[in-house]
Amino acid sequence: MPGGKHENMQAWSPEEDTIILEMHTQLGPMWSKIVKQLPGRTVSSVRNRWQRIEKGRKQREAGIVSKNRCHACGQPKRGHVCLAKLGGGPNVAMGPPSVTITNQLGVYVPVRSAPVAPSLAPPTQSTHSSSPLRS
Per residue in 83-119, is it b (16+ CB within 10 Å) or e — as a string?
bbbbeeeeeeeeeeeeeeeeeeeeeebbebeeeeeee
Measured CA to CA, the distance from residue 28 to residue 26 in angstroms comes to 6
What is the arithmetic mean of pLDDT over 33-44? 93
Range of the domain at 59: 14-112
Residue 78 within a domain: yes
pLDDT value at residue 129: 52
Residue 101 within a domain: yes
pLDDT value at residue 115: 47
Residue 3 within a domain: no
pTM of the model: 0.57
pLDDT value at residue 104: 56
Which amino acid, residue 56?
Answer: G
pLDDT value at residue 2: 59
Residue 128 within a domain: no
Residue 8 within a domain: no
Per residue in 45-72, is it b (16+ CB within 10 Å) or e — as a string?
ebbebbeebeebbeebeeeeeeeeebeb
Residue 54 within a domain: yes
pLDDT-derived band at 117 (thresholds 50, 70, 90) equals very low
Residue 123 within a domain: no
Specify the number of domains making up the chain. Answer: 1
The pLDDT mean for the chain works out to 73
Residue 66 within a domain: yes
Measured CA to CA, the distance from residue 44 to residue 99 in angstroms comes to 37
